[in-house]
Structure 1
Amino acid sequence: MLDRVRAILDDFRYRRQLRQWTGGSDKAREMPLSELRELRRRANQVRRRIDAINHVAVSRLTLPVIGSNAIRKPPRTEWAHRPQAWAGPVYPSGIAAVDTKQKIGSEVTIFHDCTESELSFRQVRNTNEDDFAPFGLRMDVFNFDGSFLSLAIEMPKNAVEGLKRTHILRLDMIVDSERPQEMFARLNIRHGPNTEQVVRELDMAQRNIWVEFDMYYTQFDEARGDSMWIDLIFEGPSMNQVTIRDVTMIRRPRASI
């Protein structure tokens, strides 16, 4: 009985809030600017919470199912992560004439030096049977008059927690490209005032791509690990469509020598 009463009250509050926002949207064109600013501030606060709920809901209710956090993990994997842009819906979900430093969700940033951007991106739904990630990122590049194009993917804080030079980091990707595309992956780890960088060329002859970064051959200071990110660097991207279907990062201990 108590649960039924709570459900009735929740439904009543929901309908009242919905009427309030409907009324606000109807009056927005005519209300004083001071009231409009306050309404926009409240709307932005609500939207952030709605976006967070939508991110989780779409992840759990669409296929491939993300609730399982399905990531291919080699034996002895200690840590694994799929960035948000491939795990659930992000905002903005698409944009044309992308400016440099354009954010895609909270973890991905596009960098380029074009004088006139003819680059667009959009988040797409994965539907192939072998797709583990529910979403992919598609970039369309027309004329490209810049010297570099890269996608910076931030890793969460726990990526460097406990990271040692006895670890191997592995990047796995699934990439579809209209025409042959040369790509590189650069691992960046900030430790204290320094940033360790390791570059690997990606074998684009296949759809499923992976590279490993052996921490043993770096100068990484284990006691000062601060942050980690991956740069995906595109060489000669002009007149091409590239869809990155999945990106995952795992950590495992290296074999003893």
Structure 2
Amino acid sequence: MAEDIGFLSRILTKRSVRRWAKLAKEATVADLRDLRKQRAQAREIKRHIDSLIFYADGRLALPAIGNQSFPKPHDADWSWRPELWSGPLPSPGIASVESKAMLGREATMFHDCARSEITLRQIRNVREADLAAFGVRLDVFRFDGSYLSLALDLPPEAAEGLKRRHLIRLDTILEMEKPIEIFARLNIKHGPNVEQVVRELPLHEKEVMVEFDLAYTKLNEKRVEKLWLDLIFEGPEMNQVTLRDLTFSRRPRAEL
């Protein structure tokens, strides 16, 4: 029975395709009254087809949604890819981004522009080389502020067992319309204090990676509460920055 239904469905689909191909071929000479009805039908069908293609592309395209696989040090005791790069957000983007606006549950944009001409949105990665399912695109047009940063809250697991002998590594893949400087600032709240370690991203290198060495901080290991990262964009006006991937890993420093 199922095979019969499938066979019948294929026949009906072929007939429908032939019908619409014939109507499309005759559209230049068709009666206007008939053409108006055909256009309405075609738009209704197209709406459903576009919806099917959209969801099919999202589910069938590689890399897979939710993928947490990425290269990391062999001795890493924690690793993580934020939700912006691993899963679809309920709201994929923000236009005219206000300061402290959040995209998802982990990312917050900060700036001091009087008038925002900034957009931030999640995009689907479909390149063969991409490991992350999604990317994040930042568009900046006119910029009258003095700072622009994207803050990412790290999960509680990043703080568990954190020691001064740890190295925290940040890897990213990004594209820019024109070169700018981007800084990464790791913030660690311990008790009433916050330790900060700043690194400039080596955008001229093939692999964009920085490590935050906690040995040079005054971290109180017994009072670590939370971690977050600020990506700071210098001179972002009239530029588009696409972060194809962004991952964290943590490993203990080798004993001397």
- For the superposition of Structure 1 and Structure 2, which TM-score range results when normalised by the shorter chain? 0.7 to 0.9
The structure-2 alpha-carbon separation of the partners of 1:113 and 1:67, relative to structure 1 and needing over 3 Å to count, comes to closer
Pair 1:240 & 2:239 matched:
yes
- Decide whether aligned partners of structure 1 residues 84 and 68 sit closer, same or farther in structure 2, where only a CA change above 3 A counts: closer
Q: Report if aligned partners of 1:182, 1:235 keep a CA contact under 8 Å in 2.
A: yes
Greater Cα offset, 83-92 or 105-114: 83-92
Unpaired stretches in structure 1, ≥5 consecutive residues: 1-57
Aligned residue type for 1:186: R
Q: How many residues of Structure 1 are paired with residues of Structure 2 in the alignment?
A: 201
Task: Tell which structure's C-alpha radius of gyration is larger.
Answer: 2
For the Cα contact (< 8 Å) 2:66–2:87, is it kept in 1?
no
Instruction: Call closer, same or farther: CA 1:60–1:194 in 2, change over 3 Å.
Output: farther
Aligned equivalents of 2:160 and 2:59: distance in 1? 28
Following superposition, the deviation at residue 92 of structure 1 comes to: 2.1
Query: Residues of 1 paired with 2:60 and 2:218: CA distance?
Result: 44
**Offset from partner CA, 1:190-234 (integer Å, 9 cap, x none):** 000000000001111145311001111111111001000000000
Query: Per the alignment, in what secondary structure is the counterpart of residue 212 of structure 1?
Result: strand
1:157-187 alpha-carbon deviations (Å, 9 max, x no partner): 0100001111110001111101102100000
* Rounded Cα–Cα distance in structure 1 between residues aligned with 2:177 and 2:80: 27
1:113-150 Cα offsets, whole Å, 9 max, x none, are 00000101111111222211010110110110000000
- Counterpart contact for 1:153–1:231, Cα < 8 Å: yes
Any gaps of 5 or more consecutive residues in structure 2? 1-56
Question: What is the alpha-carbon root mean square deviation over aligned residues?
Answer: 1.8
Tell me the equivalent position of 1:225: 224
Deviation at 1:91, TM superposition (A): 3.2
Listed one character per residue, the Cα deviations across residues 40-67 of structure 1 (whole Å, up to 9, x for unaligned) are: xxxxxxxxxxxxxxxxxx9976420245
2:104 aligned partner, one-letter code = G
For residues 12-32 of structure 1, give each alpha carbon's deviation from its aligned partner in whole angstroms, at most 9, with x where no partner exists: xxxxxxxxxxxxxxxxxxxxx
Q: Percent identity?
A: 55
1:256 matched residue in structure 2: 255
Counterpart residue number, 1:82: 81
Runs of 4 or more above 2 Å deviation:
58-62
Q: Give 1:90 deviation, angstroms.
A: 1.3
Give the structure 2 partner of residue 11 of structure 1. Answer: none
Q: How does 1:110-129 map to 2 (within 5 A)?
A: 110-129=109-128
Q: Distance in 1 between matches of 2:206 and 2:97?
A: 26
Distance 1:153 1:135, change over 3 A: same
Q: 1:159 to 1:209 in 2, by over 3 A?
A: same
Q: TM-score, normalised by structure 1?
A: 0.75
Note if contact 1:175-1:208 (Cα within 8 Å) is conserved in structure 2. no
Cα separation, 1, equivalents of 2:187 and 2:202: 20
SS of 2:225's equivalent? strand
Q: 1:75 to 1:256 in 2, by over 3 A?
A: same
SS in 2 for 1:176: strand
Q: Which residue of 2 aligns with 1:163?
A: 162
Change (3 A) 1:59 1:83: farther
CA contact 1:113–1:147 (8 Å) conserved in 2: yes
1:189–1:225 Cα contact (<8 Å) kept: yes
TM-score, scaled to structure 2: 0.75
Change (3 A) 1:66 1:181: same
Q: Is the contact made by 1:59 and 1:134 (CA closer than 8 Å) also made in structure 2?
A: no
Q: Is the 8 A contact 1:60 1:67 kept in 2?
A: no
